[in-house]
């Protein structure tokens, strides 16, 4: 990860994962040639700690932390972290600028997101056994969406393809300097809006994204584990304690949609002017001004 350098300029690669900085730049009316550097740390995925990894060296002291929801801001404060700005998830800005992307008259099937590892940590679990459980539960066609690391593993792909499932990948998460992840969230939105249902073996960003665009939600199956899962998160027991109503093969759709709204921070969508000011971006003239609810700090 990049952090503050000697000149005080800030650069963190995670700000650009999944096309986040490009989405926010487009919302602010900035040209799309290259994503802008954000002067601070942007939460890049749903998180039930304080929005960022537990280790304090992830975020350099003195730089803002841009978080999705108020509960994360309050939890961060309780752990001695300061400088939080509530802006909501980049996903809500994508929905603002792409209100009709992927909308179809009839949705069908389930898109299923197995819990995944990342470049430094893999997860342990039996994909074949999980695939059997999915086949036993789901009655409509199933699309399995794997993270790029698991998608690159032919044995993992085969575990799902051999059960008759369609297997896809939204792509790599990318960086500021390459185009690998620039359309990640757009691809995800396209898929979610064509499926009736979204499911996973753990609560995560994809489930809340799906619930926010009308998907039914389910959480079931072996939750799998990181090889060195950090104890600060509290594991499966804490997720079950905090969100028991979101676990099971069928979840109340109204409850899922409302929880997604809270966790993704729809009430904290900032205006383009507010984002430009918070991110340290030069004021530009927007081609099509957007409206928002304003930032909270």
Question: Residue 178: what pLDDT?
Answer: 64
Question: Residue 227: what pLDDT?
Answer: 65
CB-CB neighbours of 105 under 10 Å: 4
What is the CATH number that goes with domain 110-263? 3.40.50
Question: Residue 9: what pLDDT?
Answer: 40
Question: Residue 230: what pLDDT?
Answer: 57
Question: Residue 3: what pLDDT?
Answer: 42
Question: Residue 4: what pLDDT?
Answer: 40
Contact 114, 84 (CB under 8 A): no
Phi, psi of 26, deg, nearest 5: -65, -40
Token digits of residue 122:
């893999």
Question: Residue 251: what pLDDT?
Answer: 97
Low-confidence ranges of the chain (pLDDT < 70): 1-11, 34-35, 50-51, 53-62, 78, 80, 117-122, 124, 174-179, 226-235, 283-297
What residue ranges do the domains of the chain occupy? Answer: 13-89+265-279, 110-263
Cα 179 to Cα 12, 90, 110, 126, distances in angstroms: 16, 17, 28, 32
Beta strands of the chain (E only): which ranges? 41-42, 65-67, 84-86, 110-113, 123-124, 142-145, 166-168, 197-200, 216-219, 225-226
Question: Residue 32: what pLDDT?
Answer: 76
Tell me the C-alpha distance between 69 and 61, whole Å: 21
């Amino acid at each position: 990860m990049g952090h503050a350098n000697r000149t005080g300029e800030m650069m963190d690669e995670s700000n650009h994962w999944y096309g986040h900085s490009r989405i926010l730049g487009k919302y602010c009316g900035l040209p799309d040639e290259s994503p802008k550097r954000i002067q601070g740390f942007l939460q890049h995925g749903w998180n039930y700690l304080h929005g960022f990894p537990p280790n304090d060296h992830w975020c350099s002291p003195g730089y803002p932390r841009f978080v999705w929801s108020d509960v994360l801001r309050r939890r961060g404060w309780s752990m001695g972290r300061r400088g939080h700005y509530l802006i909501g998830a980049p996903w809500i800005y994508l929905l603002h600028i792409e209100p009709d992307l992927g909308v179809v008259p009839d949705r069908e099937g389930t898109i299923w997101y197995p819990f995944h590892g990342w470049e430094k940590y893999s997860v342990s679990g039996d994909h074949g056994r999980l695939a059997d459980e999915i086949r036993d539960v789901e009655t409509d066609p199933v699309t399995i969406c794997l993270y790029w690391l698991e998608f690159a593993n032919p044995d993992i792909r085969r575990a799902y393809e051999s059960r008759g499932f369609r297997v896809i990948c939204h792509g790599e998460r990318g960086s500021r300097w390459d185009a690998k992840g620039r359309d990640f969230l757009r691809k995800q939105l396209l898929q979610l809006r064509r499926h009736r249902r979204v499911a996973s073996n753990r609560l995560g960003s994809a489930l809340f994204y799906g619930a926010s665009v009308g998907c039914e939600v389910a959480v079931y199956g072996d939750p799998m584990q990181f090889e060195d899962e950090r104890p600060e998160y509290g594991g499966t027991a804490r997720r079950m304690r905090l969100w028991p109503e979101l676990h099971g093969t069928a979840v109340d759709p109204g409850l899922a949609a409302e929880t997604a709204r809270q966790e993704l921070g729809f009430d904290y969508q900032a205006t383009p002017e507010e984002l430009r000011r918070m991110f340290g971006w030069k004021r530009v003239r927007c081609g099509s001004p957007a409206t928002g609810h304003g930032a909270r700090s």
